[in-house]
Amino acid sequence: MPDCQLLHGTCIAHGGHGVLLRGPSGAGKSDLALRCLHHSFPGRDGRQLWQLVSDDQTLLCAENDCLIARPAPEIAGKLEVRGIGIIDQEYVPCTNLKLILDLVAPGCDAGKIERLPPDLVFDTILGVDIALMPLAPFEISAPIKVNLALRRVLEHRTQ
C-alpha cells in the first residue's frame, strides 16, 4: 500500500500534470482554481485545459517516485465558491503532482516573491521532491502565472 498524506490544499491538473494550491483558509485556493478552470480555453479535444482534482483537501500518495494527488472521497467533485456556496464541478480522479504553489497574502507577504528567482526550489513530501513557488493568488495575472509556473517546471525536468 502506498504511503499517503492528506493535505489542506486545492489541486488542479493540466494535461495530467497537477498543481497544488496551498495556503491557510481564506488564502484564495478555491478562487484561483475557479479562475483557472473557467478562464482557460478548451484544448483541441474540446476539454478544458485545467481540470479540478480536489478542493480544500488533497490526498497525496507516493507511488513509483511520484506524488499522485486525489480528492478526499467525501468531497470529490465539489468546489467552494465564496458567496455562492459549494457547487458540483467535473473533476479528474487523480493526477501526477508536479508543482506546489504556496499562496501569499498581498502586502507584506508579497515580498516573499522574488522578481527574478534564480532557480527552482523543491519541497520533499513523502520522500518525493516537488517544485515549490510562492504566488499572489488575487493578482489579475495569477491564472496566467499558474500556467507559466507549470511550464517552467516541466521544461526544467526535460533539461
Domain boundaries, the chain: 3-158
Mean pLDDT value of segment 83-99 = 96
Mean pLDDT value of segment 87-114 = 86
Look over the chain and give the mean of its residue pLDDT values, rounded to a whole number: 89
The pLDDT of residue 116: 76
Distances (CA, A) of 147 to 3, 19, 55, 68, 141: 29, 10, 18, 19, 10
Burial pattern 47-64, b for ≥16 Cβ within 10 A else e, equals: ebbbbbbbbbbbbbbbee
The pLDDT of residue 115: 77
d(CA 147, CA 144): 5
Residue 89 has pLDDT above 60, yes or no: yes
What are 39-69's pLDDT values in tens digits? 765 555 556 689 999 999 999 999 999 999 9
What are 120-149's pLDDT values in tens digits? 999 999 999 999 999 999 999 999 999 999
CATH architecture label of 3-158: 3-Layer(aba) Sandwich (3.40)
For residue 81, give every residue at least 6 positions away whose Cβ sits within 8 Å of its Cβ, in sequence order, or none.
30, 34, 87
The pLDDT of residue 96: 97
Which of the two residues, 97 and 115, has the higher pLDDT score? 97
Mean pLDDT value of segment 23-33 = 92
The pLDDT of residue 113: 77
The end-to-end CA distance of the chain, in Å, is 32
Banded pLDDT at 20 (limits 50, 70, 90): very high
d(CA 58, CA 81): 17
Share of the chain above pLDDT 70, in %: 88
The pLDDT of residue 156: 85
Q: Are strands 121-125 and 50-54 parallel, antiparallel or unpaired?
A: unpaired
For residue 47, give every residue at least 6 positions away whose Cβ sits within 8 Å of its Cβ, in sequence order, or none.
none
d(CA 5, CA 70): 11
